């Protein structure tokens, strides 16, 4: 039996959740059953194409697609050429731009198309909102949609995506990759006399709520000046956040570290991971923290609440309640035994429900189902007729 040939397609916005997700899937795909190529757009400027650089060579080929401006439909022809040359069976898209362009290429070449939504922008400007609405419309025409969280499944219902084409596949992280990356520093044990670190990893954009995290840290710092805050990542709000941090009494203890290739090595040294987002799917950085036994505190929002069970795998606070979030952080920081119990429980949860190996197996089965679903072919015939 020949393996299914899949083309992962993304217009990279950095090296964050969606991009890391693609690499986790490719790393865990069984090459005897599923081969993955990767196509990325080249949009110029300071675009981060790390997803292509880190894509595993054993998984398949990487294709770079030059794109002029924010949206270039000539990419469709380039995708179609790759699909024909590489004999692709399914194109798998990630994000509104890749959904639109990927669907057009699938229709042109007659192959199946599957999308994995990773979340939708909030407070978007006019152009972004327009493209997002177009992307949502196109989703209704996909052969299958595989949301990563129950919240995103609900979004598909609101967007009028046919329920028969919506397939919930829980997000996952590559546990073996995490353990390999951090194994070399296992000897760097945390000592009781070192500076304790609170941290965050991810995009610096409004929906991450990092201004709240700075306020929480400032409150914690007033009680314990042996704390520091590390923010790993980049984004449109970084300059604004740096100015806020500089104005705080705790400013000298706050480090903006930018994008780091050693994020896991930094993450394992965190004493506490804090997430203040207003909107998430199933956040990859939070899964990685749990997999590394780092205790977590977060705002109680859909997606995050799938990972953090209050009092069991971490602590939750109502969204926007800075005082409550500060209190939850203090609980963990003031009780090393509690922090250790939370970390162990978090690791067990990731191992049991959120492994990338399980996720890759479910996607392979979904692709196979889509390719062999006669009802889809009948639907296409009706549309043509």
Q: Which of 159, 188, 7, 151 is nearest to 80 (CA)?
A: 7
CA distance 64 to 36: 15
Other CB atoms within 10 A of residue 196 CB: 15
What's the confidence (pLDDT) of residue 382? 40
CA distance 7 to 105: 11
Contact 310, 331 (CB under 8 A): no
What's the confidence (pLDDT) of residue 243? 97
CA distance 100 to 315: 39
CA distance 74 to 104: 11
Q: Which of 143, 280, 105 is nearest to 203 (CA)?
A: 280
What's the confidence (pLDDT) of residue 150? 84
Q: All domains of the chain, ordered by start, with CATH?
A: 4-172+355-384 (3.40.50.2000), 175-353 (3.40.50.2000)
Q: How far apart are the first and last CA of the chain?
A: 33
Contact 205, 14 (CB under 8 A): no
Global pTM exceeds 0.75: no
Contact 371, 33 (CB under 8 A): no
Contact 100, 80 (CB under 8 A): no
What are the E-state strand segments in 48-139? 62-66, 90-94, 112-115
What are the E-state strand segments in 169-299? 196-201, 227-232, 254-258, 272-275, 296-299
Phi, psi (5° rounding) for residue 13? -105, 5
Other CB atoms within 10 A of residue 379 CB: 14
Beta pairing class for 144-145 and 90-94: unpaired
What's the confidence (pLDDT) of residue 192? 47
Contact 264, 177 (CB under 8 A): no
CA distance 201 to 263: 8
What's the confidence (pLDDT) of residue 191? 45
CA distance 370 to 381: 16
pLDDT tens string, the chain, 385 residues long: the values are: 799 999 999 999 888 889 989 999 999 999 999 999 999 999 987 889 999 999 999 999 999 999 987 778 899 999 999 999 999 999 999 988 999 999 999 999 999 999 999 876 555 555 556 666 787 889 999 999 999 888 889 989 999 999 999 999 988 888 887 887 677 555 445 544 468 999 999 999 999 999 999 999 999 999 999 999 999 999 999 999 999 999 999 999 999 999 888 888 899 999 999 999 998 878 889 999 999 999 999 999 988 999 999 999 999 999 999 999 999 999 999 999 999 999 999 999 999 899 999 999 999 999 999 999 876 654 554 443 3
Q: Which of 265, 276, 251 is nearest to 200 (CA)?
A: 276
């Amino acid at each position: 039996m020949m393996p299914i040939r899949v083309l992962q397609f993304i217009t990279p916005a950095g090296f964050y959740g969606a991009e890391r997700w693609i690499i986790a899937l490719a790393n865990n795909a069984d090459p005897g059953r599923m081969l993955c190529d990767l196509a990325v757009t080249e949009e110029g400027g300071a675009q981060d194409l790390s997803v292509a650089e880190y894509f595993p060579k054993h998984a398949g080929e990487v294709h770079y697609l030059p794109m002029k401006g924010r949206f270039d439909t000539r990419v469709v022809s380039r995708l179609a050429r790759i699909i024909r040359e590489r004999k692709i069976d399914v194109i798998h898209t990630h994000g509104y731009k890749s959904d639109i362009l990927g669907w057009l290429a699938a229709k042109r070449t007659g192959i199946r198309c599957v999308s994995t939504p990773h979340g939708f922008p909030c407070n978007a400007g006019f152009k972004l909102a327009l493209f997002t609405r177009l992307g949502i419309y196109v989703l209704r025409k996909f052969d299958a949609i595989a949301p990563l969280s129950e919240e995103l499944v609900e979004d598909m219902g609101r967007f009028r995506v046919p329920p028969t084409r919506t397939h919930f596949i829980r997000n996952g992280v590559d546990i073996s990759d995490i353990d390999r990356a951090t194994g070399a520093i296992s000897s760097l044990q945390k000592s009781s006399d070192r500076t304790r670190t609170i941290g965050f990893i991810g995009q610096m954009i409004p929906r991450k709520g990092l201004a709240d995290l700075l306020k929480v840290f400032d409150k914690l710092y007033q009680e314990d000046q042996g704390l520091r805050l590390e923010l790993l990542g980049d984004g449109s709000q970084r300059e604004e956040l740096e100015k806020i941090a500089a104005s705080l009494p705790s400013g000298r203890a706050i480090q903006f570290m930018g994008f780091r290739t050693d994020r896991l090595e930094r993450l394992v040294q965190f004493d506490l991971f804090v997430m203040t987002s207003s909107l998430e799917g199933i956040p990859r950085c939070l899964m990685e923290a749990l997999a590394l036994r780092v205790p977590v505190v977060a705002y109680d929002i859909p997606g995050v609440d799938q990972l953090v069970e209050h009092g069991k795998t971490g602590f939750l606070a109502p969204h926007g309640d800075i005082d409550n979030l500060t209190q939850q952080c203090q609980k963990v920081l003031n009780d090393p035994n509690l922090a250790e119990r939370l970390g162990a429980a978090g690791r067990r949860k990731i191992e049991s429900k959120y492994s990338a190996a399980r996720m890759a197996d479910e996607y392979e089965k979904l692709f196979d189902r889509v390719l062999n679903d006669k009802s889809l072919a009948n639907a296409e015939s009706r549309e043509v007729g």
